Amino acid sequence: MSLNAESTAFRSALEVIRAVEPRVADAIGAELADQRESLKLIASENYASPATLLTMGNWFSDKYAEGTVGRRFYAGCQNVDTVEALAAEHAKELFGASHAYVQPHSGIDANLVAFWAILADRVESPALKKAQVRQVNDLTEADWFALRRELGNQRMLGMSLDAGGHLTHGFRPNISGKMFDQRSYGTDPATGLIDYDRVAEAAREFKPLILVAGYSAYPRKVNFRIMREIADSVGATFMVDMAHFAGLVAGKVFTGDFDPVPHAHIVTTTTHKSLRGPRGGMVLCGPELADQVDRGCPMVLGGPLPHVMAAKAVALAEARRPDFADYAQRIVDNAQALAEGLLRRGTTLVTGGTDNHLVLLDVSGYGLTGRQAEQALLDSGIVTNRNAVPQDRNGAWYTSGIRIGTPALTSRGLGTAEMDVTAELIHTVLSQTTPGANADGTPSKAKYVLDPAVADKISKQATDLLAGFPLYPTITLS
């Protein structure tokens, strides 16, 4: 039997790897098998195309390329210049941005680039220059206090973690919470929705240098026009982290007031998640911040990853195709169908539904913690992650929630009918799981009881559901 190009490429790669370290080759093959057999519902995960995956395994990995296109600290970067410029060109065209910086290794790196670019643009301070040349891990709490003081004790206002924000939006243990005097805005306790009047009130009282919008677990749209008006009213730089919903912006599902690019001073994102590219980050901005952003390396970043920038160029080119817009719309259609299926079965959802790619379940109605629910679902072939809900009584480790999303299953071709089946599988597992006890008989927030027969049955039903939607159907490894 003749093999297609994709199967030949991946088989050949594994043969080469196996000759050096067979256990790595085995793990790679096992990962593909596991992903093929599991209902992947982690909202921040997806499946990159074979072209994107293959682009990361090449000689670009061997190059150092500090600096920017045409201005490198190393010689011999002409080919890196080509792929970096292509990735930036595709990003600008895709999102309608005037400038794109595609070097960040991750979303957190992209946010750090944005933070320091804003600080460098707004505040000239000897302490800032000092911090740039020191190891961040060497800075003590006193150092951070002194730095913030010299910088004018700069302030950040971002969405709280339990309301759906990200840890880089000012969570105190994170570097963002150490760099800035930070305050969080939450959501309305009754609805779980952003109350823009309260955000405006907090901004007037706190007067932040940076107002951050964006989320990792907020299942609704954000009105970026209103948020920009709030930022302007207090003279803040408006930053949007669209890592989770960049694919919905690229696919023109989020437009007008819900597209952050025309409204924000600076936008950060990952290139995986709903954008379906390689793991990495990116910064979009106007000309006012472009020079500072382009100093991301060496200001914040180490050597860029040229092989990943090349893969970003491929993925962004794919996202510019007409079929990506259809894909983005199906992500939202599927998320709403999944939410409706869960609601019909009595599951409590934060905000009562979704406008985007994710759904946030409050599993306390099942008598479970998020950690118990997460593991019980995993035992049953359903991959999710626990997540805090607003005013979570169980904290950020055990949580009371489960976050699920539809980008990955939509990439496999599942539709709204399959989402209803998925809702039934989730509900069955959660309703059949009960809290466990510690060895001393006290209630446990981690242990749980689920009949293995139920887990096996659901796992088989999940596998059967996926059988009609094969993952990477053009690729065979044996």
Please name each of the domains of the chain with its CATH number: 59-319 (3.40.640.10), 323-467 (3.90.1150.10)
List, by residue number, the catalytic residues.
64, 66, 241, 270, 273, 279
Task: Judge contact between 265 and 286, C-beta under 8 A.
Answer: yes
Cα–Cα distance, 82 to 69 (Å, whole number): 8
Q: State CA 245 to chain mean position distance.
A: 8
Provide the H-helix boundaries in 193-321. Answer: 196-206, 224-233, 246-250, 287-293, 296-299, 306-319
pTM for the full predicted model: 0.91
What per-residue confidence (pLDDT) applies to 414? 98
Q: Report how far apart the first and last C-alpha atoms of the chain are (Å, whole number).
A: 12
What per-residue confidence (pLDDT) applies to 164? 83
Cα–Cα distance, 429 to 379 (Å, whole number): 9
Cα–Cα distance, 90 to 464 (Å, whole number): 38
Provide the H-helix boundaries in 156-243. Answer: 175-179, 196-206, 224-233
Provide the H-helix boundaries in 168-279. Answer: 175-179, 196-206, 224-233, 246-250
- Local confidence pLDDT in tens for the 478 residues of the chain: 457 999 999 999 999 999 999 999 999 999 999 999 999 999 999 999 999 999 999 999 999 999 999 999 899 999 999 999 999 999 999 999 999 999 999 999 999 999 988 887 776 545 555 555 454 456 677 766 766 666 556 899 999 988 888 878 777 778 777 788 889 999 999 999 999 999 999 999 999 999 999 999 999 999 999 999 999 999 999 999 999 999 999 999 999 999 999 999 999 999 999 999 999 999 999 999 999 999 898 888 888 999 999 999 999 999 999 999 999 999 999 999 999 999 999 999 999 999 999 999 999 999 999 999 999 999 999 999 999 999 999 998 999 999 999 999 999 999 999 999 999 999 999 999 999 999 898 999 999 999 999 999 999 999 999 999 999 999 998 8
